[in-house]
Amino acid sequence: MKNPLLYKNSINLRLSGRMQAVADMVTAGNRVCDVGCDHGFVSIYLIREGISPKAIAMDVNKGPLQAAWEHVKEYGLENYIETRLSDGVGALREGEADTLICAGMGGRLMMRIIEEGKGKALGMKELILQPQSEIHFLRKYLRDEGYLIVDENMVLEEGKFYPVIKALPACGGRAETGADVEDGQRIEDKYGPVLLRKKDPVLKEFLYREHSLCIQIMGNLQANGKGKEKRKEEIRDRIKDIETAISYFIS
């Protein structure tokens, strides 16, 4: 339930589509740590909507963190949101937060943040991740480390596709699998196990767009790419994986 005391400042707040998708995955009642908080709007939204009772907004850069604090004061939420200068979760104490948010950064950087703060991350109830790149490496890392991906979303905003991942820590280790299952895991790591399972329409659009692009690239290589066999093989493999992912929507 929204706290009316939080509305002494009636400034409207509207998140971007991808940030709204991140906020929507936070479990109600959880205290939040937002790493790479930028201007702090996700934390502000979560408090104003009564989703989170407390938030810690962190950033490695002083400029965005100062901007976040100015916004916190603008909305009158100084008693609910704390800002901290921090590289990853370095400035977070164990047990201070239930939800870790990492959004708007590369997948490998997220892996480093989780790995370097492993004890703190494993103490969280959930991780909400919105990687900008190297998404398959991040999903594989989560799987190998025993995290369970329980929900995913994908948002198309201004021509770009943004996946959002919700993972629960310490939910079991990696299972030994045969070759066929490992192939299936590679497809799920690339495109998202939950997105594929629920036949997400935005993922479907992404797959067909990628397929069309790869077919175009292959056509150009065949016409002008004499001797570029390695590149052709790479594109053939991409097309095969995309077509396998598309088959999830047909079956």
Q: Per-domain residue ranges for the chain?
A: 4-175, 203-250
Residue 4's pLDDT band (boundaries 50, 70, 90)? very low
3-state helix, strand, coil in the chain (%, to 5): 50, 20, 35
| Residue 189 to residue 49: CA distance in whole angstroms | 33
The CA dihedral of 106, 110, 113, 114, to the nearest 10 degrees, is -170
pLDDT on residue 200 = 98
> Could you tell me the end-to-end alpha-carbon distance of the chain, in angstroms, rounded to an integer?
41
Average pLDDT for 99-121: 95
pLDDT on residue 222 = 87
- Name the H helices within the chain: 17-24, 41-48, 62-74, 107-116, 118-122, 135-144, 179-191, 193-197, 201-224, 229-250
User: CA separation (Å) from 120 to 55, 112, 147, 166?
Assistant: 16, 13, 14, 17
| Residue 101 to residue 82: CA distance in whole angstroms | 15
pLDDT on residue 58 = 97
pLDDT digits (tens, 9 = 90+) for 119-177: 999 999 999 999 999 999 999 999 999 999 999 999 999 999 999 999 999 765 454 44
Fold adopted by 4-175: Rossmann fold (3.40.50)
Q: pTM (2 decimals)? A: 0.90
| pLDDT at residue 3 is higher than 80 | no
pLDDT digits (tens, 9 = 90+) for 20-76: 999 999 999 999 999 999 889 999 999 999 999 999 999 999 999 999 999 999 999
